[in-house]
């Protein structure tokens, strides 16, 4: 439950994207949050307080003069135990109000009256021309200068039929952003490159050799790195997983392709990769005599003769670069983890190696890790992969100079 115990004030302003706020509320409640909805009168043209009360389980506030609050000061009382205020959707008009500190309705007054310690996140939602208008852009710059965080918007098809920037993020993306807002920004300004998932080495056009890696641990590390403020590129073998929100994913099939993409990423002119994390379960060998046609059964019952050759070791190659990024390896062992982990860290020449028991983690949602570095090893007890990934990101951040 990523939002367990969090008190969230959700403000809705006038926009067709109000329909997404309903699902967003549900998603936050499912993630353990308590959600207090506040709506402007424009928002009530798009969705009713009844719907939002039904979904949040709490009466909705719409009026500055709401006598249900003992002291008749909802603009003060509603934020005093809030962990964050999220405005979704946030209209061009409400952005303008925030930029100027307007206090002419409950929601705008509540934002101005919030304690300085309560972060304000806004998810803009408007027509592309409204978004591009210099006045809106001026107001947005003011919001950023005032430490108000923007969530999106996205580009794409709009309800009005036009296409461009201004679409509000989807409910699940907003949820990811809210969860991320509670994570410490330990990797702010850093660039991370990761490999994840299995590789697939063809035997012929329809068959190949792969392994049981699901990609879950690597994707969790990528997500945790994004939450920690990093710019993340994930080079992924074939998995059934959606790309983590905010992460750039490049899909590959074979170990050689994974190697080539990783090296190209590190060689790019604007590439200053700070950290490389090799989570992928890379096939050690490929089939050297892979067939261009589907192999047929032999009449005499004999099996095809496959010839193997070794794949490049991506992690060892990166670690051997003249100016390598901070390299983190993973080791999937079947036994003797403590002994093999330390030996592998030294063999791969990396400052940090993360050990786990392969058959105990592949495809599962939880895991346990042992971190090996020059000072010895530390155990991270069994927990969800996302939780472990966040601990690992903190461990990496603390080792960066
Ligand atoms: N790795 C890699 N390229 C390879 C093989 C492995 O980048 N061709 C990386 C993995 O992503 C992981 C680490 O090396 O971070 C260790 O992988 P593992 O398979 O446990 O180790 P191997 O070097 O293959 O050693 P062995 O299979 O002999 O234990």
High-pLDDT (> 70) share of the chain, %? 99
CA–CA distance, 33 with 380 (Å, rounded to integer)? 27
pLDDT digits over 7-28, tens only?
Answer: 999 999 999 999 999 999 999 9
Averaged pLDDT, 89-116: 97
Q: How confident is the model at residue 271 (pLDDT cuts 50, 70, 90)?
A: low
> What is the model's pLDDT at position 337?
87
> What is the model's pLDDT at position 270?
67
CA–CA distance, 120 with 111 (Å, rounded to integer)? 8
79 close to 9: Cβ distance less than 8 angstroms: yes
User: Is position 18 annotated as part of the catalytic site?
Assistant: no
Task: Give the closest residue (by CA) to ligand 1 atom 27.
Answer: 284
Q: Where are the beta strands (DSSP E) in 288-392?
A: 308-310, 326-333, 352-357, 366-373, 376-384
Averaged pLDDT, 28-49: 98
> What is the model's pLDDT at position 244?
95
CA–CA distance, 330 with 337 (Å, rounded to integer)? 11
SS3 at position 124: strand
CA 337, 341, 343: angle at the middle one, nearest 5?
A: 125
Averaged pLDDT, 379-387: 94
pLDDT digits over 209-243, tens only?
Answer: 999 999 999 999 999 999 999 999 999 999 999 99
Query: What pairs with residue 197 in β-bridges?
Result: none
Q: How confident is the model at residue 359 (pLDDT cuts 50, 70, 90)?
A: confident
Judged against a pLDDT cut of 90, whether residue 360 lies above it is answered with: no
Judged against a pLDDT cut of 80, whether residue 351 lies above it is answered with: yes
Cα(280) to ligand 1 centroid in Å equals 8
Domain 191-400 grouped into CATH 3.10.105.10: no
Task: Compute the mean pLDDT over every residue in the chain, rounded to the nearest whole number.
Answer: 95
Q: Where are the alpha helices (DSSP H) in 35-184?
A: 49-56, 74-77, 92-100, 106-112, 128-132, 134-145, 171-181
Cα(313) to ligand 1 centroid in Å equals 7
CA–CA distance, 117 with 267 (Å, rounded to integer)? 42
> What is the model's pLDDT at position 401?
74
Averaged pLDDT, 171-191: 97
Point out the ligand 1 atom lying closest to the alpha carbon of residue 358: 20
2 close to 29: Cβ distance less than 8 angstroms: no
pLDDT digits over 233-269, tens only?
Answer: 999 999 999 999 999 999 999 999 999 999 999 997 6
Averaged pLDDT, 37-57: 98
Pocket of ligand 1 (CB under 6 A): 195, 255, 278, 280, 282, 284, 311, 313-315, 329-332
Averaged pLDDT, 40-48: 98
User: Domain coordinates of the chain in residue numbers?
Assistant: 7-181, 191-400
Higher pLDDT, 113 or 158: 113
- One fold for both 7-181 and 191-400? yes
Name the residue of 281, 313, 343 whose CB sits within 8 Å of the most ligand 1 atoms, as the mutation to test its pocket.
Answer: 313
Averaged pLDDT, 90-101: 98
Name the residue of 315, 342, 355, 362 whose CB sits within 8 Å of the most ligand 1 atoms, as the mutation to test its pocket.
Answer: 315
Q: How confident is the model at residue 331 (pLDDT cuts 50, 70, 90)?
A: very high
> What is the model's pLDDT at position 362?
78
Tokens of 122: 């806004």
> What is the model's pLDDT at position 341?
92
Higher pLDDT, 277 or 336: 277
Tokens of 87: 């405005």
Judged against a pLDDT cut of 70, whether residue 155 lies above it is answered with: yes
Angle (deg, nearest 10), helices 171-181 and 18-30: 50
- 170: exposed, middle or buried (C-beta count within 10 Å: 0-12, 13-18, 19+)? middle
> What is the model's pLDDT at position 269?
64
* CATH class of the structural domain 7-181: alpha beta
């Amino acid at each position: 439950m990523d939002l367990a115990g969090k008190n969230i004030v959700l403000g809705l302003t006038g926009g067709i994207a109000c329909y997404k706020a309903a699902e967003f509320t549900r998603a936050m409640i499912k993630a353990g949050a308590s959600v207090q909805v506040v709506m402007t009168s424009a928002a009530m043209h798009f969705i009713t307080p009844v719907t939002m009360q039904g979904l949040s389980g709490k009466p909705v506030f719409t009026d500055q003069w709401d006598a249900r609050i003992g002291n008749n000061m909802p603009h003060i009382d509603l934020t005093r135990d809030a962990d964050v205020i999220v405005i979704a959707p946030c209209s061009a008009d409400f952005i303008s109000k925030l930029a100027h500190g307007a206090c002419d309705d409950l929601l705008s007054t509540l934002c101005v009256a919030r304690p300085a310690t309560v972060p304000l996140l806004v998810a803009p939602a408007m027509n592309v021309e409204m978004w591009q208008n210099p006045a809106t852009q001026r107001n947005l710059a003011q919001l950023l200068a005032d430490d108000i965080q923007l969530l999106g918007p996205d580009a794409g098809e709009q309800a009005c039929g036009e296409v461009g920037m201004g679409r509000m993020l989807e409910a699940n993306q907003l949820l990811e952003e809210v969860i991320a807002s509670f994570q410490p920004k330990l990797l702010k300004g850093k660039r991370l490159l990761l490999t994840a998932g299995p590789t697939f080495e063809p035997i012929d056009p329809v068959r190949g050799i792969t392994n049981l890696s699901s990609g879950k641990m690597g994707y969790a590390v990528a997500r945790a790195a994004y939450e920690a403020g990093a710019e993340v590129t994930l080079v992924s073998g074939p998995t059934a997983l959606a790309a983590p929100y905010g992460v750039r994913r490049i899909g590959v099939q074979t170990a050689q392709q994974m190697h080539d993409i990783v090296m190209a990423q590190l060689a790019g002119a604007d590439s200053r990769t700070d950290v490389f994390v090799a989570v992928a379960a890379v096939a050690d060998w490929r089939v050297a005599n892979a067939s261009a046609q589907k192999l047929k059964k032999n009449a005499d019952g004999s099996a095809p003769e496959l010839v193997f050759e070794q794949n490049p070791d991506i992690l060892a190659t990166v670690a051997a670069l003249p100016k390598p990024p901070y390299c983190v390896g993973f080791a999937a062992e079947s036994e003797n983890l403590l002994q093999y982990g330390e030996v592998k860290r030294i063999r791969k020449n990396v400052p940090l190696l993360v050990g786990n028991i392969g058959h105990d983690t592949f495809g599962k949602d939880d895991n346990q890790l042992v971190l090996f570095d020059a000072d010895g090893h530390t155990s991270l007890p069994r927990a969800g992969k996302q939780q472990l990934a966040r601990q690992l990101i903190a461990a990496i951040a603390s080792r960066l100079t």
